[in-house]
Amino acid sequence: MTFELWAAFAVFWALFVTTPGPNAVNCITVGMHVGLPRAFITVGAILLQALLFMWAAALGLAALIVTTPTLFFVLQIAGAALLVWIGLRAFLGADRPPVVPDQAGGLFWRAFWIATINAKSLAGYIAAFSQFLDPTRPVIGQMAFIMPTALSLTALSYAGFTTLGAVLGRAALGAVFHTAFRRVMAVCFIGYGLALFALAIVA
């Protein structure tokens, strides 16, 4: 992989992972509720999802899913429904003490599934790797450049979102602000879910 191609990939990926989406909303929410360093478990979950999706895209498995209309549609609808459900539950409970998993494993798997069920995210990985992987060269050698770059940028981005949530959680902003902010985060989940549903229907 040339330096120019690597630099282009790094810029693309930085934009990809810093654009706010369900993962960012979840990181901010968890950071706000449980604080640091415990909330960083969500970043680990996102990195595991990223690792799996990168290899799926590189090996062509992701493309197979996307080009199977029924399977891809089911994934889109399931992902949309889960996001809407998470958002509705959070919105209705925004004025009560936050309910978060007691164990780190609960936080980890919640973050992992939020990251995984976004079918459009899978399509994004395919778009990235179809542009930056050279099919005439061994995949392993190219992944040696791409994977550390992608994982590092992903970790930095979502650690930043998590830290932002933790800072907001520690700030003496009052119960009214915290309730309003939690409702805004809940509406974001609902909005992302409805957007995914709409994309699945019109696709």
**Confidence band (pLDDT; 50, 70, 90) for 201?**
confident
**Confidence band (pLDDT; 50, 70, 90) for 18?**
confident
159-176 mean pLDDT: 79
pLDDT in tens, 88-129: 877 787 676 555 555 667 899 989 988 887 665 666 676 666
* Tokens matching residue 168: 């907001």
Quick one: residue 21, left, alpha or beta (phi over 0 = left, psi -120 to 50 = alpha)? beta
pLDDT, the chain, mean: 78
What is the pTM (predicted TM-score) of this model? 0.72
pLDDT in tens, 170-198: 775 555 566 777 787 778 768 877 876 78
Distance, in Å, from the CA atom of 173 to the CA atom of 64, rounded to the nearest integer, reads 48
Q: Amino acid identity of 55?
A: W
**Confidence band (pLDDT; 50, 70, 90) for 45?**
very high
Using DSSP's 3-state secondary structure scheme, residue 2 falls into coil
According to DSSP, residue 19 is labeled S
With tokens 């995210």, the residue in question is 121
Q: What is the pLDDT of residue 74?
A: 74
Distance, in Å, from the CA atom of 151 to the CA atom of 158, rounded to the nearest integer, reads 11
Which positions ≥6 away from 108 have C-beta within 8 Å? 41, 42, 44, 45
